[in-house]
Chain A
Amino acid sequence: EAGVVQSPRYKIIEKKQPVAFWCNPISGHNTLYWYLQNLGQGPELLIRYENEEAVDDSQLPKDRFSAERLKGVDSTLKIQPAELGDSAVYLCASSTRAGEGETQYFGPGTRLLVL
């Protein structure tokens, strides 16, 4: 079974430029998560989707970040414009559902460096 796929794996951009990350969850997983992980820290949730609906985006900085999950499968996370402080790893995860026994499966992440 293929795991969670993310691309690109690495991205270097200059500040004020836009950037987008793509995630393909495990087939059949209805719930999709985007996390931000700074160096030496644990992941922090940015947004959670149930199918195509964003059910929790309270931690997403909406002035510059946006996300979409068309057709309830793949998802894209965008930053525009990027700032120096956005340099981090962006992780995507998926699960069958958001329930007590569910396990989240993580992708390898996209490592972003903003210069």
Chain B
Amino acid sequence: KQEVTQIPAALSVPEGENLVLNCSFTDSAIYNLQWFRQDPGKGLTSLLLIQSSQREQTSGRLNASLDKSSGRSTLYIAASQPGDSATYLCAVRLDGGSQGNLIFGKGTKLSVKP
């Protein structure tokens, strides 16, 4: 059974710092991996999607990497801002017969202090 783990569970940093969020998964047979952002009381917003054949994706100050063989992904946030405060969720999409099904981690709650 695929399990997704995110470390740390919570992180507090001063504004301007670069930071890394970690995600690990137990089964390397995945279609893709996505990073989502969730603001309190809101739904999830997709930030980056890395297909199984890719190593990384970049969008603005965000960079996500994928090491499928070791079951790891990182989300790098450069020059963090208070507006980046949210919960960041990692999700893997299963290979095989469950196409479309995402398995989520519990998330990392990020707080960026002004």
Contact = CB atoms under 8 A, between A and B. Distances in A.
B-side binding surface: helix, strand, loop or mixed? strand
B106 A101 contact: no
Interface stretch (B59-67, B77-85, B97-105): B97-105
Contacts of A42: 4, 89, 91, 104-107
Interface string B20-51: 00000000000110101000011111100101
B99 A98 contact: yes
Contacts of A107: 43
Given A42-B89, A45-B102, A104 B46 contact: yes
A-side binding surface: helix, strand, loop or mixed? loop
B34 A101 contact: no
Contact of A103 (B4, B46, B101, B107): B46
Interface of B: 4, 31-32, 34, 36, 41-46, 49, 51-52, 89, 91, 93, 98-102, 104-107
Given A99-B100, A100-B52, 5 more contacts: A41-B106, A45-B102, A101-B32, A101-B51, A103-B46
